[in-house]
Structure formats: structure tokens, C-alpha cells
Amino acid sequence: MSLSILAVDDSRTMRDMIRLALQPAGFTVHTADDGLHGIDVLDGITPDAIITDINMPRMDGFGFIDAVREQEQHRATPILVLTTEAAPELKARARAAGATGWIVKPFDPAKLVKALQMVAG
């Protein structure tokens, strides 16, 4: 079963690392370089899960999660936050916005694959 993922991160290197971690495991990876771009990309796809960074220009991860959750068709789509941030208050804020989980960078590719299979499979 091929799962479709939207990865939203302002770092090209991080988007590439996510793609390199997920494609060999059979995932289809769509990418966006910030929250606003993520909303645009989301318009044309129905991902099984979304990965988002928190600190991004134009629209940060919290704004992006809010915008995704406002869309009926994406209310239940799992959203994993992938960020360098580890503060409990930020995790609580992300959960309140509708995030499903939190992974701190740098990430272990095998763990990311497993987490996505758990939430999206």
C-alpha cells in the first residue's frame, strides 16, 4: 500500500531528507516550502498524512495546522510536527491546534517511516 505524504518545511535539505527517508519505503512525497505553499499544494492532493515544521516564513506550522483543520476534507488527516523545537508548551499548542504527533529533528528515518505507517496506515 502506497501512502501519500505532504511534507512542509522551509529547508530544502530537510524536504530532501524526508523524501529520501520515505520514498524507498513506498511513500509518495509531495513537498511545500512554507505553510502558505502547503495550503496551495493541499488543494490538489489528498495526503494520508502531513509532516510540518513549526518555524517557517509567511505562515508557520501552527497557522498551517489551523488552516488544514479548517478544511472539512482534511479534519482527520494525521499531522506530524517535525521540528528542532522540544518545549512542552509548543507541543501542547500544536496538539491543541490539531497535530497528531511531534518528532524532534534530527530524525531517525526508520522511526519516521514507522510513525507515519502507524498514524496513516
Short-list 91, 90, 45, CA closest to 68? 45
Instruction: Give 80's strand partners.
Output: 51, 101
CA distance 20 to 104: 18
User: In this predicted structure, what is the pLDDT of residue 1?
Assistant: 59
Cα–Cα separations (whole angstroms), residue 64 to 21, 59, 70, 92, 117 = 23, 6, 10, 16, 22
Spell out the per-residue pLDDT of the chain, length 121, in tens. 589 999 999 999 999 999 999 999 999 999 999 999 999 999 989 999 999 999 999 999 999 999 999 999 999 999 999 999 889 999 999 999 999 999 999 999 999 999 999 998 7
Q: Which of the following CATH numbers is that of domain 4-85+99-120: 3.40.50.2300, 3.30.60.50, 1.20.1250.20, 3.10.20.90?
A: 3.40.50.2300
User: In this predicted structure, what is the pLDDT of residue 121?
Assistant: 75
Helices (H), the chain: 12-22, 35-42, 61-69, 88-97, 109-120
Where are the domains positioned within the chain? 4-85+99-120
Centroid of chain to Cα 114: 14
- Name residue, grid cell 520514498: 23
